[in-house]
Chains A and B, each alone.
Chain A
């Protein structure tokens, strides 16, 4: 067992101190930090200055409506009124205002306007102004038609569709909405981790073969301990890297923590369980495949079937978002390769009996066991085979270890 720890620590340290790892981690951290805080940065810089907008109207009543609306809705807009368009144009040339709106009162539409500016690119400003003038128009209409504002409010109230689930343990609508975010995030994390770290395991094994240190290693450490030392070592590396990623995103994450408070704790627990099982399932298979090649260039060729299976699993889980209760998805969620993604999705979004979850976890653990056994066997023989990469090597590797091949 001590050798397992030596291999684990060696694998972990070797990658942790590698330039590629440090650089990619730092770049990703920066990226995460910028991405998660990009909204905050922009809104902060926008806070500093109000937009200078002019309106051209002769009506002091309309002017009043506009200014009240802007004030009440706390828009970052400053309104200046001009009586003629000529005057407003002059202000634009001077740079005092960035745009102006010529307002016209008309009997049919109550109030119309023309937005004039040198630059039409500021979509968010246009959107804000449209909302302001929508309300101003309503006020004007209420005034002209002599409608009681209270009556108008009642008419204007949106239709409320309340949702109640009949099953007691079922997820509420709000829960599902918030869970979706967590589920999507976790599924993506499973996918990305297997692609990145799984391939790293295969490459790690193949590189030890291609640098010819493998035979010395297998003569001192049992193949199983070596294989799992690597798998756990890289898992530890992944945890370290994700911890750094989380750290860089935490500033923003804690600010939005309440957005996830409706997500049941079980979703997170299952997330961890299926993530872990998924990693170990794929890692074991990829380590086995990595042991079959003797050159790093051949790694991608031999593990591509596994990557395709993984992509299919990911595609299925995206399809499952549309209808998580589908029978086909339910059946597929017991297939070991898809189970980590599909079963986790079902657990989080659909109410399913506990035995189904337990069965699925059981299947996963059993298949990890099978692949670990098979993997260790192939690994032990595979590392002694040099030459062309091929799946026939699986049979060759097992044959190599058989006491009596006849």
Chain B
């Protein structure tokens, strides 16, 4: 179990992480979302022991993570790369050996993962000759090759095409199924929503929202009304209690201040014309994020 207790990190006058407490249970996939500069990477670096917290403690199964335990940790940093002049196998060997593995144990695992990502043919190719997507696959492999107990993925999907995103998602799920606890950050709420049960939302170094996605959504209530209609409902745009009005292929999607207003709005819309269907939706994580963090960033 990963336990972060009252952790604060200051860089001079700047507080990067402020009184953060989190708990990630064994075998869980935990998502951290937040705008740039919200303190995600700093938190990861503190978990790994690369930075010391100004205050508070971080433990994995009751012990501090340091270089003695680095063999049980996997890390895919946001700033990641490969040695351009080494072959894929050479660098995977090097990284895995630095995590404490023996050459004989590593080789079959390299073969497995290269096959898993359909890049076996690049095994003896220099990394610099690989496409960016394939390089990212190799980078992911070096974070999981030693079968870590705790895997930290900092923006694992950034820059990947949709096909590779799916491939990587299924690989993350596979690693998780084998018992690895996963902590990952992303700007893309749909990835987080799809992959984790628990999340923490960071803003200016604080976890402004944390817990099960279900519960967070319930807390925000069903404040979205989707109306399936061909009618022109633009008059609703200026109505009191409406936060946003959005045209969709099937009709309109209206965000409300209060869930209770939904019934009134449906009635008003029905007066205007034929409504085929209406729905009360939960907000997406993206909507909650934008509302809480206050600005759109990707």
Contacts and interface: CB of A to CB of B under 8 A. Distances in A.
Contacts of B94: 6, 10
Interface centre among A3, A213, A214, A218 (most CB of B within 10 A): A213
The A interface is mostly helix, strand or loop, or mixed, namely: helix
B116 interface: no
Contacts of A18: 85
Interface in A334-365: none
Interface in B57-109: 67, 70, 73, 75-77, 79-86, 91, 94-95, 97-99
The B interface is mostly helix, strand or loop, or mixed, namely: loop
A404 B67 contact: no
Contact of B11 (A6, A221, A405): A405
B45 interface: yes
A217 B94 CA distance: 10
Interface in B205-246: none
Interface stretch (A31-39, A41-49, A170-178, A395-403): A395-403
Interface of B: 10-13, 45, 48, 50-55, 67, 70, 73, 75-77, 79-86, 91, 94-95, 97-99, 142-143
Nearest to B44: A219
B98 A6 contact: yes
B196 to A, nearest CB: 22
B145 to A, nearest CB: 11
A219 B48 contact: yes
B54 A405 contact: yes
Contacts of B50: 215, 218-219, 380, 384
Given A211-B81, A215-B77, A404-B10, A220 B54 contact: no
B218 to A, nearest CB: 37
B152 to A, nearest CB: 9
B10 A405 contact: yes
A221 B67 CA distance: 7
B98 A3 contact: yes
Given A6-B94, A220-B99, A405 B12 contact: yes
Given A219-B73, A220-B99, A212 B11 contact: no
A212 B80 contact: yes
Interface residues of A, number: 29
Contact of B95 (A216, A401, A403): A216
Interface in A1-22: 3, 6-7, 10, 14, 18
B12 A220 contact: no
A386 interface: yes
Interface centre among B51, B76, B91, B95 (most CB of A within 10 A): B51
A369 interface: no
Interface in A222-253: 222
A168 interface: no
B10 A216 contact: no
Given A6-B97, A401-B51, A401-B52, A216 B84 contact: no
Nearest to B67: A222
Contact of B54 (A7, A215, A218, A403): A403
